[in-house]
Amino acid sequence: MNKSGVEDVELALEIRCALGESPVWDPRSDELVWVDIRSGHVHWWTPRAPTARSLQVGNTVSAIAPRRAGGYVLGTRSGFAVLDSAGSFALMAEVEADRPVNRMNDGKVDPRGRFWAGTMAETDEPGAGSLYRLDLDGSVARVVDGVTISNGLGWSPDSTTMYYVDSLAHSLDAFDFVVETGEVRQRRVLAEVPSAMGLPDGLTVDEQGYIWVALHSGGAVHRYSPDGRLDTRIELPVALVTSCTFAGPEYKDLYITTAVDPERDEHLAGSVFVHRPRVSGMPGPLCES
Ligand code: CA
């Protein structure tokens, strides 16, 4: 038995993130980068180092991705933002300024380098959020509306399908994706996620095109086939499993972020875990905006 207390997953880094989210590998520094939404921290960690280094950015930060021009693109309470390589924060494009109860949530870079992030009402008001695309020229397009909790995003290895989770829709959805323009069409449910299994949250896609979905309140990660079949279930020792990403120089390790549920006595909640499947992930594109 390893330190995580379960079989398929190891404790990678013991840390108490209130709401750890949006893990992404930064190939420029060989670090895992993720955020703690509630406390507004960005964390960086080199696998096997004893601790992470952290920065509080002064805004709710819900998603992060490395940026070609240096530093990172962020999803924040106020909209899309940039954290430059010196650690200074600047808002890039405001989103939903007329809805103070809304904040951005999960985000991801598409195969062409556009950054996508959605919103949610902190009251979980049904349909109050949307999914946005930050285009290469810095303009923002609202792509999907009527979203309740905008969450995981990912693309098939051939870039023709976009995967998407609105957590309170209780499903993993798919769209046809047009890589040249960033348009999406033909939304459909790929896999239903029964509420007894938790809420679908962050996701990542492996090199075989299978989709790994974190289950918030479900204490697990599910791997679905491209046609929506549940292929593998990985159990974690904490309930609030928020997101996952392939990381490490060869993208062989699946790192999993978690959150603290104040109602549960889980001493590893908020920590980062690692699962080593027999399949690798794919390098994430840098944000070109
Ligand atoms: Ca999330």
Q: For 253-263, how does the pLDDT look when each residue is reduced to its tens digit (9 = 90+)?
A: 999 999 999 99
Residue 1 pLDDT > 60, yes or no?
Answer: no
In order of start, what are the domains of the chain with their CATH numbers? 2-275 (2.120.10.30)
pLDDT digits (tens, 9 = 90+) for 61-106: 999 999 999 999 999 999 999 999 999 999 999 999 999 999 999 9
Mean pLDDT of 30-51: 95
Predicted local confidence at residue 207, as pLDDT: 98
Mean pLDDT of 247-273: 96
pLDDT digits (tens, 9 = 90+) for 228-248: 999 999 999 999 999 999 999
Tell me the Cα Rg of the chain: 17
69 alpha carbon to ligand 1 midpoint, in Å?
Answer: 26
1 alpha carbon to ligand 1 midpoint, in Å?
Answer: 29
Residue 100, amino acid:
P
171 alpha carbon to ligand 1 midpoint, in Å?
Answer: 14
107 alpha carbon to ligand 1 midpoint, in Å?
Answer: 9
19 alpha carbon to ligand 1 midpoint, in Å?
Answer: 9
Query: C-alpha distances in angstroms, 38 versus 21, 66, 122, 142?
Result: 10, 21, 11, 25
pLDDT digits (tens, 9 = 90+) for 181-195: 999 999 999 999 999
70 alpha carbon to ligand 1 midpoint, in Å?
Answer: 25
| Ramachandran angles phi, psi of 168, nearest 5° | -80, 5
Token output for 33: 């980068």
The residues that bridge with 274 in the sheet, in sequence order, are: 10, 255
Predicted local confidence at residue 83, as pLDDT: 97
31 alpha carbon to ligand 1 midpoint, in Å?
Answer: 20
Residue 5 pLDDT > 90, yes or no?
Answer: no
SS3 letters across the chain: CCCCCCCCEEEEECCCCCEEEEEEEECCCCEEEEEECCCCEEEEECCCCCCCEEEECCCCEEEEEEECCCCEEEEECCEEEEECCCCCEEEEEECCCCCCCEEEEEEEECCCCCEEEEEEECCCCCCCEEEEEECCCCCEEEEEEEECEEEEEEECCCCCEEEEEEHHHCEEEEEEEECCCCEEEEEEEEEECCHHHCEEEEEEEECCCCEEEEEECCCEEEEECCCCCEEEEEECCCCEEEEEEEECCCCCEEEEEEECCCCCCCCCCCCEEEECCCCCECCCCCECC
Predicted local confidence at residue 6, as pLDDT: 78
Predicted local confidence at residue 149, as pLDDT: 98
Active site residues: 201
Degrees, nearest 5: CA angle 48-52-55? 160
Which residues, 6+ apart, have CB-to-CB distance to 123 below 8 Å?
Answer: 101
Mean pLDDT of 13-39: 96
pLDDT digits (tens, 9 = 90+) for 127-180: 999 999 999 999 999 999 999 999 999 999 999 999 999 999 999 999 999 999
Predicted local confidence at residue 230, as pLDDT: 98
Predicted local confidence at residue 7, as pLDDT: 79
Measured CA to CA, the distance from residue 16 to residue 13 in angstroms comes to: 10
199 alpha carbon to ligand 1 midpoint, in Å?
Answer: 10
Q: pTM to 2 decimals?
A: 0.97
Mean residue pLDDT of the chain comes to 96
Token output for 160: 């023709």
